[in-house]
Structure 1
Amino acid sequence: MELIFLGTSSGSPTKSRNVSGLALKKVGARPWILIDCGEATQHRLLHTPLSLNNLHAICITHVHGDHCYGLPGLLASAAMAGRTAPLTIIGPAGLQGWIAATQQATHLTLPYSLHFIDVAALTGVVAMEGFNISALPLSHRVPSFGYEFVETGLPRKLDVAKLKADGIEPGPLWGRLQRGEVVTLANGRVLDGHDYQLAMRVPRKVIIGGDNDNPALLAECVHSANVLVHEATFTLAIANKVGPGPQHSSAMAIAQFAAEASVPNLILTHFSPRYKDGGPGISIRDIEQEARAHYGGKLFLARDLEVFHLNREGELSRMQDGSPAFAGMTAR
C-alpha cells in the first residue's frame, strides 16, 4: 500500500506545503482514493503518476476550506481529461449542494455522474476496489470524521504440500482449487478447493483522521491499525497560547494517545503555517521533538509529495519525496 501526501499544511499553504490532501492506493494498482482536497490539490497531482481517470473515490473529512476548496477545480479537470466513469464522494451532506451550486454558477457540466454518500449517515462500509471504507466521528468545530481503510481482495494461496501429499498433480486443476471450486475427479473423488487453501494473512488497515482535538475517539478502532495518520497542528505551548477554540490536537496529545494505544506507525500532518521547515523561529522540528518525547513507535512527519510504503508485514517506510521520479516505484 502507498500513501502519497499532496498537502500537509493547515489553514493556508506555505511556500513548501499545500493544504490538506492525501492519496491512498495499492502498489501496482491503478485505482486510488483521495482523502481531502484542499485548494490546489490538482496542482500537486501533476507531480505524481496519479490519473484523475483512475480516481475511484474522494473522502472529505469536513467542510473547512483547507480540506475541500480544491474539489470544484479537480472535478472540472477530470472532465477535461476525458473522465466518463462515475465518481463516489463521501463527506458531509453540504458538499453536494455546494458542488451543485458551483456547477450552476460556473456553467460546469460533468460528463460523468457523482455519487454522494453522507458520511454522517454512514453506518456500514463502502466497498471500493481494493478497500472497505468506514467513517469514524471525531471532534472539531464542525462535524469532522476520520476514515478507516481495510484492504480487500487478498489472494488465496494453495497448500502445495497438501496437494502433493494427496497425489494431486500440478495443472489446470490447481487453478480451480485456488478459486475455491468443488472439483470431481475422473475416479469420482470430490475435492473442495477451500480444503487446499492456506489461511489468508491479516488485512492491513490504515486510519486517516480529519481535524480532531480528541484522539481518544479513535481508541476502539486504532488497536488493530497498522498506520495512523493524524493532525498535529500545534506544539503544546502554542496550543495553550491559542486556547481550545480551534479544536486541534497538539503533538504531545496525539503522541501520548498513539503510545497508549500501541500504534506501530504514526504519521503526523496538518501543521500550522507558523512552523517553518527551516530557518529562525519555531519549526516543524519542534513538533517532531515533542512527539518523540511521548511516542516510541515509528514516527514520521509528512512533507508534501512524500510517499510512504506499507508492506505486507505491516512495516511502514518513507520511500521518496518531491519528485515525479517516484512513478517507477517497485516496492511490494
Structure 2
Amino acid sequence: MKITFLGTSSGAPTRYRNVSATAVQPEHGKPWVLVDCGEATQHQLLRTPLSPLKLEAILITHIHGDHCYGLPGLLASCQLNGRTAPLTLVGPVAVWEYLQAVMQFTEMQIDYPLQFLAVDERLDITAGGFQISAAALSHRTECWAYRLRESQIPLQLDVQRLRAEGISPGPEYAHLQRGEDLQLADGRWLSSTDFTRLSRKPRVAVIAGDNDRPELLAGLCQGADLLVHEATYTADILQQVGPEPQHSSAERVARFAEQQRIPNLILTHFSPRYLSKPRRSNDRLICEIRTEARQYFNGQLQLAEDLASWLISRDGMLLRL
C-alpha cells in the first residue's frame, strides 16, 4: 500500500508545496485512488508515474477550493486523453454542484461514465483495490475522512479441513482459493468462505480532511495502520488564530493518535507560514510541527512532502520510498 503526496499546503500553494491531493495505490496493479484534488493536481501528476487513465475513484473531503479546484481540469484532461473507463467521484453534494456549474459555463464535455456518490456514514464502495468508508469531521463546512482498506488479499486454503471432509488436492482447491463456490461430483456444495481465510491482515489507511476534533476519527481508525491528518498549525499559532478556521494543531492530532495507539502518523496541510528554511529571523519553520507532535506521539511520525511516497509494508511498517 503506497501513499504519494501531490500537495501538502493549506489554503494556498507555496514555492515548494502545492495544495491538497493524496494518491493511494494498492500493492499490485496500476489502478489507484485520489483523495482531494486541489488546484494544479494534474500538473503534479506529470511528475509521477501515476496515470490519470488508471484512476478509479476521487474522494473529495470538502468543498473548499484548496481541496477541489483541480477537479475540473483533471477530469477534462482525462477526456482529452481518450478515457473510456468509468470513474467514481465521492464527496459532499456541493462538490457535484460546483462541477456541474463549471461544466455548464465552460462547455466542458465528459463522455466517459462519471458516477457521483454523495458521501455519508453509510458509504461502502470498492475502488482501486480498496474498500472505502467514511466518517464526518468538524470543520466550518461539511467535511469527511476516508478509510481505505485493502480489498484484494489472496486467500489461503484450510487444507486440514478440506482433507477432513475427504476432499483431496485437485482442481477444486484452485476454485475455492479464487473465492469460488462449487459442487462436487457427489452433489455436495462447497462454499469458499468455509475453507479459506485471508492470507494476511489487510492494510488500512485513514486520510482525513480539515478537522478540529480528531476524536471524531476514533471509530474509523480502529485497526488502522496509518493516519494522515492535517496539522495546519502548531499549538501557539492555533491559539493566536482562534477557533474560527476549525483546524488542528500538531499537538492535538498527536495526542489523539497516541491515545488510539495508531502505529503510523503522517501530518500534512501545513499553513504557508511554515517554511523549510528561514529567510528572516522571525520565520516559523516546518520542523516546529514535527517537534511539537513528537512530544505527544511515540509511533512512527512523518511530515508529508510534495511528491514524496511512503509504503505501508505487510507488517505495518511505514517506509519512505
Match of residue 28 from structure 1: 28
Contact 2:226 2:266 survives alignment (8 Å) = yes
Please give the per-residue CA displacement for 1:178-205, whole angstroms capped at 9, x wherever unaligned. Answer: 23544536xx596845564345433222
Larger mean Cα displacement after TM superposition, 281-290 or 158-167: 158-167
Partner-residue secondary structure (3-state), 2:53: helix
Give the distance between the partners of 1:211 and 1:294, measured in 2 at CA. Answer: 20
Q: Call closer, same or farther: CA 1:55–1:194 in 2, change over 3 Å.
A: closer
Which amino acid in structure 2 is aligned with residue 26 of structure 1? P
Alpha-carbon distance in structure 1 between the residues aligned to 2:198 and 2:18: 43
Partner deviation per Cα, 1:138-181 (whole Å, 9 max, x = no partner): 01111111111122132112245676898976553431242354
Shift of 1:131: 1.5
In 2: Cα distance, 1:195 partner to 1:245 partner: 53
Are residues 1:117 and 2:103 paired? Answer: no
Show the counterpart of 2:134. Answer: 135
Partner of 2:232, secondary structure, is coil
**Which of 311, 314, 317 is equivalent to 1:315?**
317
Cα distance in 2 for partners of 1:218, 1:166 equals: 44
* Partner of residue 97, structure 2: 97
- Counting aligned pairs with the same residue, the percent is 49
Measure, in 2, the Cα distance between the counterparts of 1:32 and 1:269: 20
Structure 2: gaps of 5 or more residues: none
The residue that corresponds to 2:7 in the other structure is 7
Partner of 2:53: 53
Does residue 1:248 correspond to 2:250, yes or no?
no
Which 5+ residue runs of structure 1 have no aligned equivalent?
A: 320-332
Please give the alpha-carbon distance, in whole angstroms, between the structure 2 residues aligned to 1:201 and 1:154: 7
What TM-score do you get using the length of structure 1 for normalisation?
0.88
The change in CA–CA distance for 1:156 and 1:236 in structure 2 (over 3 A counts) is: same
Corresponding residue SS for 1:222: coil
**Deviation for aligned residue 1:36:** 0.4
CA contact (8 A) 1:52 1:81 kept: no
Q: For residues 162 and 291 of structure 1, do their structure 2 counterparts lie closer, same or farther at Cα, with a shift above 3 Å needed?
A: same
Closer, same or farther in 2 for the Cα pair 1:136/1:165, shift >3 Å? closer
Matched residue, 1:234: 233
Question: 1:295 maps to what in 2?
Answer: 297
Measure, in 2, the Cα distance between the counterparts of 1:211 and 1:315.
25
Once the two structures are TM-superposed, the CA of residue 128 in structure 1 deviates from its matched residue by: 2.1
AA matched with 2:318 = L
The match for 2:284 among 282, 285, 288 is 282
Cα distance in 2 for partners of 1:165, 1:122 equals: 43
Q: Which residue of 2 aligns with 1:323?
A: none
Contact preservation (8 Å) 1:223, 1:262: no
Contact 1:177 1:183 in 2 (8 A): no
**Counterpart position of 2:107:** 107
Output the CA distance in 2 between the equivalents of 1:265 and 1:248.
21
Task: Supply the AA of the counterpart residue of 2:82.
Answer: G
Q: Which segment drifts farther, 77-86 or 287-296?
A: 77-86
Q: Tell me the residue number matched to 1:19.
A: 19
Query: Distance in 1 between the 2:227 and 2:64 partners?
Result: 21
Q: Secondary structure at the match of 2:36?
A: strand
Q: Secondary structure at the match of 1:221?
A: coil
Cα deviation, 1:262-307, whole Å, max 9, x if unaligned, reads 1111010000011001234211100000000110001010100111
Task: Quote the Cα distance in structure 1 between the aligned partners of 2:167 and 2:91.
Answer: 51
Residue 329 of structure 1 is matched in structure 2 by none
In 2: Cα distance, 1:53 partner to 1:170 partner: 41
Question: 2 CA distance for matches of 1:218 and 1:317?
Answer: 24
Distance 1:111-1:182 versus aligned 2 partners, 3 A rule: closer
Structure 2 residue matching 1:286: 3-state secondary structure: helix
